[in-house]
C-alpha cells in the first residue's frame, strides 16, 4: 500500500471515529449519553459527561407567569435543579446547575416577551405557559420537540390524565409536559336543592353515566324559579364564548377542530342545540337575557353565592374549579345578618356548593369538562448560555428534559395544586391529596424541599392548606378524564368572538337559534382567513326539540 493511500485511510478512520461524537477539548472524543428512561442513571451519566468536558457549572433560566400563588411554575424547576445537584454530589460529580427565574403576572405578556426574545437569544430556557401557545411556538421552531425524550419516560407519561397529553402535542409530537390545569364543573346550590326537596345524593355519578342531562337541568331550573326557590335557574359567564360555554358544543357531540386537516369546525347541529338550550331558558326567565353583559364582581358571583333576593341566587352555575378558592378570597357574599359583603369560609363554600361534570346535552351523549393546561416547555436554544454550547447542545437539551421530569414529581405537583387551587395533572399527585399523612406533612411544612424553595412558599401553604379545599381538588381530579380543550389555532379567537355575539343575540331574543347558526356561518364566510381555515359541517336538525 502506498504512503498516500495509507494517509487517506487513516483520515477516514479518524473521521469515522469522530462521527456522532463531540470534541473533548484535547481529551479525546466522547459520545453524548443517550437517555435510558431511568432518571438516576440518566442524571449520573450526563453529570459525568459534562465533567469530562470540563463543564462544572450549568446555567438555566425559567420563565413563568400567573397569580402569586402559582410560583411553583418557576420554583418547580429550581427544586428540580436542587434534586439533580444532590444526585451529582452523592456521586462525587463536580457539576452544579444554577437557575435564574423571571416572572410575569400576565401569561399573554410573557408569551409576547418570549416571542421577541428568542431571535435575540435572550429568552428563558424553560417556558411555563398555556398549551394554546404550543402550535405557534412549534411552527416558529422556538420550542423543542421532546418526543424522543418523552417516549423514553413512558412510565411518567402514563401517570398523567390522558387528555392532557393530547394538549401537549402538536402534529403528533410532544412539545411540552403538563404542569397544571383546571376543570369547569356544573355547580349546584345545596341549600336551594334542599328547599326544593331535591336529594343530590349520587347525582355526580348519574351525570358521569349520562343519566342526568341538560334536559334534566332545564326541568330542575324551571321548578326552582317557578316555585320561588331561586331567583334564577342557571347563571354562567359573561363576555367571550371562550371557554366555558363551548362545553355545550362538546356535550352535544360536536367538534371545534379537525385534527386531520388542521382546520376549525363550525358544527351546525351542535351549535343549534346549544343555542336552543339557552334560548329556551332565557325566554322562560331561567337565565338573564342580558347575561353576557353582567359584571363579574357586582352581579355574577354575588348571585352565585348569595341568598335569595339578597341580592339574588341561582340553582345552577357553570363555573371553574379555581372559583372554589375565589369565593373564599373575594367579598362576594352579602351577609344577611350584618348587611356587609365578605368572603365565604371554606366550610361555607362546602355547605353551599355541590359539583358535577358538565352534563351531556341529551340522552345518548357524554358529560364533559373543559381545561386550559399549562405546560413545561423547553426553548429550542435551551442551555445557550453555557460553555461549548454548539458542541454540547444535545446534552444541554437532555439535561433540561430531566429537569422537567424532576419538576413533575408527584409531591411538587400536589404542592402546586394546593397552594394555587389547580387540579393535579398526575394520578400520583391526586393520591397524595387523598393521603391524610401527607396532608399533615404539608400543613406542618415537613416537606422534602430545599430550604430556598420551602422558604418561598411556606407562607402560601399556611394560608391555603385547608383540608376542605384539598379534598375538593382531589374530588374533581376525575373530571380530567372527560376534559376537552379550545382549539390551539391562530384564528380560533375570531370564531370565539362570533360565537359570543351569536349567543348574546340568542339570549336577548333578537335571534332564533336557527337564525343564530346562519349568522355564525355568514360571519365565518365573510372573513377570508376564517373561511379558508374553517369547515362548515352538519345541518340544523328539523325534528329536534328542547326540552
Residue 124's Cα: distance from chain center in Å? 21
User: What are the residue ranges of helices labelled H in 408-445?
Assistant: 410-420, 427-433, 436-443
Mean pLDDT across the chain, nearest whole number?
93
Q: What is the pLDDT, as a whole number, of residue 10?
A: 41
Please state whether 105 falls in left (phi above 0), alpha (psi between -120 and 50) or beta. Answer: alpha
Q: What is the pLDDT of residues 45-100, one digit of tens each?
A: 999 999 999 999 999 999 999 999 999 999 999 999 999 999 999 999 999 999 99
pLDDT band at 242 (very low <50, low <70, confident <90, very high): low
Q: What is the pLDDT, as a whole number, of residue 311?
A: 81
pLDDT band at 28 (very low <50, low <70, confident <90, very high): very low
CA distance 132 to 129: 8
pLDDT above 50 (res 337): yes
pLDDT band at 488 (very low <50, low <70, confident <90, very high): confident
Q: Tell me the CA distances in angstroms from 254 to 152, 262, 268, one per residue in order.
A: 35, 16, 9
Q: What is the pLDDT, as a whole number, of residue 171?
A: 86
Burial letters 95-132, b for 16+ CB under 10 A, else e? bebebebbbbeebeebbebbeebbeeeebbbbbbbbbb
Q: Which of 24-38, 233-247, 295-309, 409-423 has the lowest mean pLDDT?
A: 24-38
List of residues 6+ apart from 85 with CB closer than 8 A: 96, 97
Please state whether 531 falls in left (phi above 0), alpha (psi between -120 and 50) or beta. Answer: alpha
Q: What is the pLDDT, as a whole number, of residue 145?
A: 98
Q: What is the pLDDT of residues 405-457, one digit of tens each?
A: 999 999 999 999 999 999 999 999 999 999 999 999 999 999 999 999 999 99
Taking residues 304-320, report their average pLDDT: 94
**Nearest Cα to 256, choosing from 480, 482, 484?**
484
How many C-beta neighbours within 10 Å does residue 150 have?
A: 23
CA distance 319 to 79: 33
Q: For the sheet with 534-537, list strands across it.
A: 257-258, 263-267, 534-537
CA distance 512 to 528: 26
Cα Rg of the chain, angstroms: 27
Q: Tell me whether residue 526 is exposed, middle or buried, using C-beta atoms within 10 angstroms of its C-beta: 0 to 12, 13 to 18, 19 or more.
A: exposed
pLDDT above 70 (res 182): yes
Cis preceding linkage at 489, omega within 30:
no
Taking residues 487-512, report their average pLDDT: 94
pLDDT band at 490 (very low <50, low <70, confident <90, very high): confident
Q: Which of 27-36, 147-156, 315-324 has the lowest mean pLDDT?
A: 27-36
pLDDT above 80 (res 229): yes
Q: What is the pLDDT, as a whole number, of residue 416?
A: 97
DSSP 8-state code for residue 234: E
Q: Which of 32-46, 105-119, 239-253, 340-354 has the lowest mean pLDDT?
A: 239-253
277: its cell numbers: 338550550
Taking residues 225-239, report their average pLDDT: 96
- Going 175 to 178 to 181 to 184, the CA torsion angle's sign is positive
Q: Where are the beta strands (DSSP E) in 368-513?
A: 369-370, 374-378, 483-484
Residue linked to cell 407519561? 157
pLDDT above 70 (res 272): yes
CA quadruple 290, 296, 300, 304: dihedral, nearest 10: 160
- The predicted model scores a pTM of 0.89
The DSSP string of 83-132 is HHHHHHHHTT---EEEEEEEEES-HHHHHHHHHHHGGGT-S-SEEEEEGG
CA distance 164 to 95: 34
pLDDT band at 7 (very low <50, low <70, confident <90, very high): very low
pLDDT above 50 (res 126): yes
Amino acid at each position: 500500500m502506498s504512503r498516500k493511500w495509507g494517509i487517506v485511510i487513516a483520515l477516514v478512520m479518524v473521521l469515522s471515529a469522530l462521527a456522532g461524537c463531540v470534541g473533548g477539548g484535547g481529551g479525546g472524543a466522547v459520545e453524548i449519553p443517550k437517555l435510558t428512561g431511568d432518571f438516576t442513571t440518566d442524571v449520573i451519566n450526563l453529570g459525568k459527561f459534562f465533567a469530562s468536558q470540563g463543564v462544572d457549572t450549568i446555567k438555566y433560566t425559567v420563565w413563568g407567569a400567573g397569580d402569586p400563588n402559582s410560583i411553583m411554575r418557576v420554583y418547580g424547576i429550581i427544586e428540580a435543579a436542587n434534586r439533580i445537584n444532590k444526585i451529582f454530589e452523592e456521586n462525587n460529580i463536580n457539576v452544579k446547575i444554577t437557575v435564574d427565574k423571571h416572572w410575569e403576572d400576565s401569561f399573554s405578556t410573557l408569551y409576547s416577551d418570549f416571542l421577541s426574545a428568542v431571535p435575540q437569544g435572550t429568552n428563558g430556557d424553560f417556558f411555563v405557559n398555556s398549551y394554546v401557545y404550543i402550535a405557534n411556538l412549534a411552527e416558529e421552531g422556538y420550542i423543542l420537540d421532546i418526543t424522543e425524550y418523552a417516549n423514553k419516560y413512558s412510565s411518567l407519561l402514563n401517570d398523567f390524565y390522558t387528555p392532557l397529553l393530547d394538549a401537549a402535542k402538536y402534529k403528533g409530537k410532544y412539545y411540552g409536559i403538563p404542569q397544571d390545569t383546571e376543570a369547569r364543573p356544573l355547580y349546584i346550590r345545596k341549600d336551594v336543592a334542599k328547599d326544593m326537596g331535591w336529594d343530590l345524593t349520587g347525582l355526580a355519578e348519574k351525570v358521569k353515566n349520562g343519566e342526568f342531562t341538560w334536559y334534566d337541568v332545564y326541568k330542575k331550573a324551571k321548578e326552582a324559579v317557578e316555585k320561588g326557590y331561586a331567583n334564577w335557574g342557571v347563571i354562567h359567564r359573561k363576555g367571550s364564548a371562550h371557554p366555558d360555554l363551548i362545553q355545550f358544543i362538546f356535550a352535544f357531540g360536536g367538534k371545534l377542530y379537525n385534527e386531520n386537516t388542521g382546520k376549525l369546525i363550525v358544527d351546525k347541529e351542535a351549535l343549534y342545540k346549544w343555542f336552543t338550550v339557552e334560548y329556551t331558558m332565557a325566554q322562560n326567565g331561567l337565565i338573564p337575557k342580558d347575561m353576557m353583559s353582567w359584571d363579574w364582581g357586582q352581579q355574577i358571583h354575588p348571585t352565585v353565592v348569595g341568598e335569595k333576593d339578597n341580592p339574588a341566587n341561582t340553582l345552577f352555575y357553570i363555573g371553574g374549579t379555581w372559583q372554589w378558592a375565589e369565593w373564599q378570597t373575594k367579598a362576594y357574599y352579602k351577609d344577611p345578618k350584618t348587611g356587609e359583603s365578605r368572603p365565604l369560609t371554606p366550610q361555607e363554600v362546602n355547605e353551599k356548593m355541590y359539583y358535577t361534570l358538565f352534563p351531556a346535552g341529551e340522552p345518548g351523549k357524554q358529560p364533559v369538562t373543559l381545561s386550559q393546561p399549562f405546560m413545561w416547555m423547553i426553548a429550542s436554544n435551551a442551555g445557550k448560555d453555557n460553555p461549548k454550547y454548539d458542541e454540547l447542545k444535545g446534552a444541554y437539551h437532555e439535561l433540561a428534559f430531566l429537569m422537567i421530569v424532576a419538576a413533575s414529581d408527584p409531591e411538587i405537583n400536589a404542592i402546586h395544586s394546593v397552594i394555587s387551587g389547580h387540579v393535579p395533572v398526575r394520578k400520583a399527585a391526586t393520591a397524595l391529596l387523598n393521603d391524610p399523612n401527607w396532608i399533615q406533612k404539608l400543613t406542618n411544612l415537613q416537606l422534602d424541599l430545599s430550604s430556598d424553595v420551602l422558604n418561598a412558599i411556606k407562607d402560601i401553604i399556611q394560608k391555603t392548606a385547608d383540608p376542605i379545599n384539598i379534598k375538593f381538588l382531589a374530588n374533581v381530579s376525575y373530571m380530567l378524564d372527560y376534559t376537552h380543550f379550545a382549539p390551539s389555532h391562530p384564528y380560533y379567537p375570531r370564531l370565539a368572538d362570533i360565537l359570543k355575539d351569536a349567543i348574546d343575540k340568542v339570549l336577548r331574543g333578537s335571534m332564533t337559534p336557527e337564525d343564530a347558526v346562519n349568522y355564525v356561518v355568514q360571519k365565518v364566510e365573510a372573513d377570508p382567513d376564517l373561511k379558508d381555515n374553517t369547515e362548515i359541517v352538519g345541518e340544523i336538525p328539523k325534528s329536534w326539540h328542547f326540552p
